[in-house]
Structure 1
């Protein structure tokens, strides 16, 4: 017998499972990348000014509370934070363009500035005084946040 009469063996057939797995994983990766791109595009349309303003004000209020915790309540430790919060409070209405014409919102912003002005006019000279000032300013913030979240 010659080898010419032996039919060549058929190539081993692999299953399509690995192809489906690869395509499924590729689809997941492409979908994740597309989702991230869409989310970033939507995020760029949002104005970061209001959130940034609130974050900086909150950071200074936390710094006041940290000063109390560390027993650093001298005027030189407290006044810079109060002055910065007061300067930032001037930007509340411009930052929130959709609410700046709302008289109740404007009143809450004004109440916040009045609370800070009162603490600057008579700065706290002790840690209990700083706690009282922080509580008064915090209450003004909370009142506005309750109103805007309704």
Structure 2
């Protein structure tokens, strides 16, 4: 009877261990799935950040081009005014062009700032997700 009790005890222990193993495997599967999802989100976030950085670079380049055009037009206007060659109508047209370019430059500058802020937000989100990802590991 002692041997039977010991065998029953060992069977019960074995069954308990098998249940624990199944629970562990189930938890491991869930964690693996969560990790895969986190990796996918991290990858998408990185891709979005790269796209935003490229967009920001493009907008900054456009802004620089508009600023150069503005300086060129400003120089042309000042030269024309100094020499007195331009008639009143031509000066008004130059002024309109200058104001339009300035408006475009200001608009581009605001867009660049907005993109820069969005990029900073995405970088913060990326860092938070990266920390969460490292904690999952």
TM normalised by structure 1 equals: 0.32
TM normalised by structure 2 equals: 0.35
